[in-house]
């Protein structure tokens, strides 16, 4: 029988439900490029959000995490808006504009990224997290982090990756790729959303190699800086600040 990935908490209820791996309300574009699994090892496959469902959570645990979907939905909406605003204002450099302040709940976004990584990799041929003792299953620690019972260890958690000069690539796609160590362990996940790169790190002790050293790293993830507990996106046109996006860690 299908199991809930949070069954380690021991209080599953309501039966298993078929869930969208990526909360479908998040994306106005309904496709995502996925790369790195057995079925999309060499090149990314474009799949519809509607099409990727999995029986991975019981109804009780799914509903307990609904607030993460809502927070991530809000965060992605802000990121979408800020990219749009940046591009619009770049087209009319002489026009006066007001500085706009956005904010997102970074703590919930971080947990949502981990939840989505678990959804993607659940029932795969990999151990999810270095402490997992069964393939296709997450470690107890990771499940507890998502439910707020434990905290990320060491340097694990969400990173925002950015390039020199802070250029925001305006590409309009959503991408996901897992980091797989020794063809055995899931060590993290890379998300790209409207040119914003987010990395969820679950490596032992925190990731200490640049992405350049990982085979299959795409151009987008080369020559980047990674920032932990990221505080703010500051978008400028010339010397003027167009807008800021504050990442609130609560």
The residue from 6, 26, 65, 143 that contacts Zn ion (CB under 5 A) is 6
Residue 158 and residue 110 in contact, taking contact as beta carbons nearer than 8 Å? yes
- 78 token code pair: 């802000």
Which H or E element spans position 16?
A: strand 16-20
Q: Could you say which DSSP state residue 69 is in?
A: H
Among the listed ranges 4-12, 45-53, 79-87, 181-189, the one in contact with Zn ion (CB under 5 A) is 4-12
8 binds Zn ion (CB under 5 A): no
Q: Half-sphere exposure of residue 156, counting CA atoms within 13 Å on the CB side? A: 21
The residue from 2, 8, 12, 163 that contacts Zn ion (CB under 5 A) is 12
CA-to-CA separations, 57 to 17, 60, 190, 230, in angstroms, rounded = 6, 8, 22, 30
Q: Rounded to the nearest whole angstrom, what is the least distance from the CB of residue 129 to Zn ion in the complex?
A: 18
Q: Could you say which DSSP state residue 138 is in?
A: B
Q: Rounded to the nearest whole angstrom, what is the least distance from the CB of residue 15 to Zn ion in the complex?
A: 10
List the interface residues with Zn ion, window 48-107 (CB under 5 A): 58, 61
Among the listed ranges 5-13, 83-91, 115-123, 136-144, the one in contact with Zn ion (CB under 5 A) is 5-13
Residue 63 vs 218, nearer CB to Zn ion: 63
Q: Which residues here bind Zn ion, judged by CB under 5 A? A: 4, 6, 12, 58, 61
């Amino acid at each position: 029988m299908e199991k809930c990935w949070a069954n380690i908490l021991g209080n599953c209820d309501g039966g298993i439900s078929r869930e969208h791996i990526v909360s479908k309300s998040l994306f106005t574009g309904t496709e995502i490029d996925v790369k790195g699994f057995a079925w999309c090892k060499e090149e990314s496959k474009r799949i519809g959000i509607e099409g990727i469902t999995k029986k991975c959570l019981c109804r009780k645990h799914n509903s307990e995490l609904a607030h993460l979907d809502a927070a991530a939905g809000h965060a992605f909406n802000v990121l979408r808006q800020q990219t749009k605003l940046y591009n619009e204002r770049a087209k009319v450099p002489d026009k006066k504009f007001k500085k706009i302040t956005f904010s997102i709940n970074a703590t919930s976004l971080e947990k949502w990224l981990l939840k989505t990584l678990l959804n993607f990799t659940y029932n795969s041929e990999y151990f999810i997290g270095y402490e997992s003792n069964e393939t296709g299953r997450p470690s107890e620690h990771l499940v507890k982090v998502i439910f707020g019972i434990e905290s990320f260890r060491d340097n694990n958690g969400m990173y925002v990756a950015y390039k020199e000069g802070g250029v925001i690539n305006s590409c309009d796609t959503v991408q996901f790729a897992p980091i797989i160590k020794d063809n055995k362990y899931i060590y993290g996940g890379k998300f790209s959303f409207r040119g914003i790169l987010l990395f969820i790190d679950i490596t032992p002790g925190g990731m200490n190699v640049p992405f350049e050293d990982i085979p299959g790293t795409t151009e987008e993830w080369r020559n980047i800086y990674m920032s932990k507990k990221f505080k703010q996106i500051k978008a400028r046109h010339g010397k003027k600040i167009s807008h800021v996006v504050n990442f609130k860690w609560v």
